[in-house]
Amino acid sequence: MSILITGANRGVGLALAELAASQGKSVIGTYRGHARPPAPAIDWQSLNVTEPESHHALAARLNGTPLSLLVCNAGVYLEKGQSLEEGYAKPLWDDTFAVNVTGVFLTIQALLPHLRAGKGKIAIISSQMASDTHAPGGSYIYRASKAAALNLGRNLSADLKGEGIAVGIYHPGWVQTDMGGSGADITVEQSAGGLMQRFQALSLATTGCFETWNGTTHAF
């Protein structure tokens, strides 16, 4: 059985991949581009989550490999410094949703046969910014995309429960990454450790959950 993590070449994704590999798990990590990341314990596979052809190619290379866990981690936050009056141009919306929403769906769709073969689980990395209980303003595109990813996960949990595939949606915390910044609350190692515990606890009894990295149930 293998674990596949998208966007595993840096940040929380890389920390998750390295943690899983250190636990003796077979880890497939995806990255975008041509430079193969330098972590030899991980089976690195190129994937552009915005391109259906890239998903089809990945599925073909996996050649029926059963997956016990799919972590949809790849994501972007492109709108820093935008103003409400003049910012948030359409390309930012298009590019963000292509990765954070459509990319998640295309990944799951392409790898469903592998999840079915492995009786696997799906973890979608969303954000507390997806919740309407955490809406202080700004970051309109990112918030909307993560809310859509949350909604996607909730509906997939309903459709896939009958097949024995559990789906969880998770807030990784405010993490010290390129996206979160150096002043964020927690390290990538803390986030990855907590998330891995959440993934292990995910079951059909909890499918559709929206939880934080440390196990707190998050309001929708």
196-206 confidence digits (pLDDT tens): 999 999 999 99
For range 174-194, the mean pLDDT: 84
3-class secondary-structure state, position 119: coil
Strand residue runs (E) in 32-188: 43-46, 67-72, 121-125, 167-171
Smallest Cα–Cα separation from 14: which of 71, 68, 57? 71
50-61 confidence digits (pLDDT tens): 999 999 999 999
Give pLDDT, residue 55. 98
What is 2-212's CATH number, 3.40.640.10, 3.65.10.10, 3.40.50.720, 1.10.3720.10?
3.40.50.720
Least confident of 3-12, 28-37, 55-64, 113-122: 28-37
59-113 confidence digits (pLDDT tens): 999 999 999 999 999 999 999 889 999 999 999 999 999 999 999 999 999 999 9
Q: How far apart are CA 32 and CA 7, in angstroms?
A: 7
pLDDT, the chain, mean: 94
For 17, 159, 167, 190, 219, the CA distances from 199, given in Å and listed in that order, are 13, 19, 9, 14, 19
Give pLDDT, residue 183. 76
Residue located via tokens 């259906």: 52
Output phi, psi for 102, to 5 deg. Answer: -60, -40
Smallest Cα–Cα separation from 220: which of 158, 160, 165, 169? 169
Smallest Cα–Cα separation from 146: which of 204, 97, 211? 97
Give pLDDT, residue 47. 97
Give pLDDT, residue 26. 97
Q: Do 17 and 42 meet the contact criterion of CB atoms below 8 Å apart?
A: yes
What is the pTM (predicted TM-score) of this model? 0.95
Give pLDDT, residue 31. 96
pLDDT at 22 over 80: yes
pLDDT at 133 over 80: yes
